[in-house]
Amino acid sequence: MAENYEFIDGEAANFPVWQMCTWAEVSTSGFYHWRSRPLSATARRRAQLRAVILQVFSDSQETYGYRRVHAVLQRMNVQAGVELVRALMRELGLVPCQPRPWRPITIIDDAAPAPPDQVACDFTADAPGRKPDSDITYVHTWAGFLYIATVIDCHTKAVVGWATADNMKTSLISDALDMAARNIDLAEGCIFHFDRGAQYTSRELRCKLRSLGLPASVCRTGVCWDNAMAESFFGALKNTLVQRTTFPTRAHARRAVIRCIEMFHNRKRLRSGLGYKTPAEVHAEYAELQAAG
């Protein structure tokens, strides 16, 4: 009965109440009596949860599903079961944005020597700086493509190095790698993992890695999940920002991408692979353990 009354109340601006009561086979007096009653404790609780969930969903740039929203509520000490969160999001019509199908842009240089794959799809590490992963993507602007190279740390899942340019030359990767080397300690035995793109297998990058003392690890040909962590990040970046934004210039795109990386991905976005923590929190926990030891 209450569901009928709630529907009538929600549509009162569109149809006469008496007519909807007739359609729903309920009395008009019963509806007005229901509406005049104070909200129950359960109804008040659900209304409060809806408001909080709406805010969390908005803060995630409409990308969080019910599991991540539930994780945020737990961090806020808001008591709500995961299925209740799921039901309330369904009631509110909150559907997270989904990444579009991935399309590779890798240009393979078959003549270039390729190091072996030393990662074997294991994108975990017991400390920062042990296993950085790199790749290149692009953003469309009215002025042409903006290319982005990133270096992601396998321990914290943070983007520790990035660079942008209007081309896909090897210098783009070198700049991102230089930033990573400034931001984290690339430990002895660190493995630098990347795909088989011509920029990554170039002589210039091999010399760069040699100067840094970094052994290389290269994805197998045609196996997209060999670089799954980088592809997952690019999917999230495009889902969060790129596919919902129009960029007039490369400068506009660059500012937006950097803001998304530094302010959202590294500091705010909860990662399921990190136990619903942020990369910044995982890095801080590691630093605290090192200081205590």
Query: Do strands 132-141 and 144-153 pair parallel, antiparallel, or not at all (unpaired)?
Result: antiparallel
Q: Let me know whether 226 and 137 are in one domain.
A: yes
Stretch 137-164: mean pLDDT: 95
Task: Output DSSP code: residue 233.
Answer: H
Identity (one letter) of the amino acid at 113? P
Q: Let me know whether 64 and 155 are in one domain.
A: no
Q: Let me know whether 190 and 254 are in one domain.
A: yes
**124 inside domain:** no
Q: What is the pTM of this model?
A: 0.77
Stretch 99-121: mean pLDDT: 61
Query: At 220, is the pLDDT very low, low, confident or very high (cuts 50, 70, 90)?
Result: low
Rounded distance between C-alpha atoms, residue 199 and residue 153, angstroms: 20
**119 inside domain:** no
**249 inside domain:** yes
**285 inside domain:** yes
HEC-encoded secondary structure of 147-191: EEEEEEECCCCCEEEEEEECCCCHHHHHHHHHHHHHHCCCCCCCC
Q: Let me know whether 154 and 250 are in one domain.
A: yes
Q: How many CA atoms lie within 13 A of 289 on its CB side?
A: 9
Task: Output DSSP code: residue 213.
Answer: T
Query: Is 90 exceeded by the pLDDT of residue 102?
Result: no
User: Reduced to 3 states, what is the DSSP secondary structure of residue 255?
Assistant: helix
Q: Let me know whether 191 and 251 are in one domain.
A: yes
Q: 107 or 136, which is more confident? A: 136
Domain end (from 92, 121, 147): 92
Q: Which residues contact 181 (CB under 8 A, 6 or more apart)?
A: 161, 212
Q: Residue 12 belongs to what domain range? A: 2-92
Q: Let me know whether 184 and 263 are in one domain.
A: yes
Residue from 186, 194, 189 nearest 160 by CA: 186
How far is C-alpha 19 from the geometric centre of its chain's CA atoms?
Answer: 47
Rounded distance between C-alpha atoms, residue 226 and residue 195, angstroms: 8
Domain end (from 28, 61, 92): 92
Query: Is 60 exceeded by the pLDDT of residue 111?
Result: no
* Total count of domains within the chain: 2
Rounded distance between C-alpha atoms, residue 255 and residue 25, angstroms: 58
Mean pLDDT of the chain: 86
Query: At 114, is the pLDDT very low, low, confident or very high (cuts 50, 70, 90)?
Result: low
**218 inside domain:** yes
Rounded distance between C-alpha atoms, residue 115 and residue 195, angstroms: 11
Query: Do strands 144-153 and 159-165 pair parallel, antiparallel, or not at all (unpaired)?
Result: antiparallel
Query: At 113, is the pLDDT very low, low, confident or very high (cuts 50, 70, 90)?
Result: low
Which residue reads 């943070």 in tokens?
A: 158
Q: Which residues contact 101 (CB under 8 A, 6 or more apart)?
A: none
- For the stretch 239-263, pLDDT in tens is 889 988 999 999 999 999 999 999 9
- Predicted local confidence at residue 267, as pLDDT: 94
User: Reduced to 3 states, what is the DSSP secondary structure of residue 118?
Assistant: coil
Query: At 72, is the pLDDT very low, low, confident or very high (cuts 50, 70, 90)?
Result: very high
Identity (one letter) of the amino acid at 273? G
- For the stretch 258-292, pLDDT in tens is 999 999 999 999 998 899 999 999 999 999 998 88
**101 inside domain:** no
Residue from 271, 198, 189 nearest 233 by CA: 271
Q: Let me know whether 75 and 167 are in one domain.
A: no
Rounded distance between C-alpha atoms, residue 134 and residue 195, angstroms: 8
CATH number of the CATH domain containing 223 = 3.30.420.10
Give the pair of three-digit tokens for residue 119: 């990662």
User: Reduced to 3 states, what is the DSSP secondary structure of residue 236?
Assistant: helix
Which residue reads 């991935």 in tokens?
A: 102
End-to-end Cα separation, the chain, in angstroms? 62
**179 inside domain:** yes
Task: Output DSSP code: residue 261.
Answer: I
Burial of 149 (0-12, 13-18, 19+ CB in 10 A): buried
Q: Let me know whether 137 and 64 are in one domain.
A: no
Q: Let me know whether 142 and 273 are in one domain.
A: yes
Query: Do strands 216-218 and 192-194 pair parallel, antiparallel, or not at all (unpaired)?
Result: parallel
Q: Let me know whether 31 and 153 are in one domain.
A: no
Q: Let me know whether 157 and 26 are in one domain.
A: no
Q: Let me know whether 179 and 85 are in one domain.
A: no
**80 inside domain:** yes
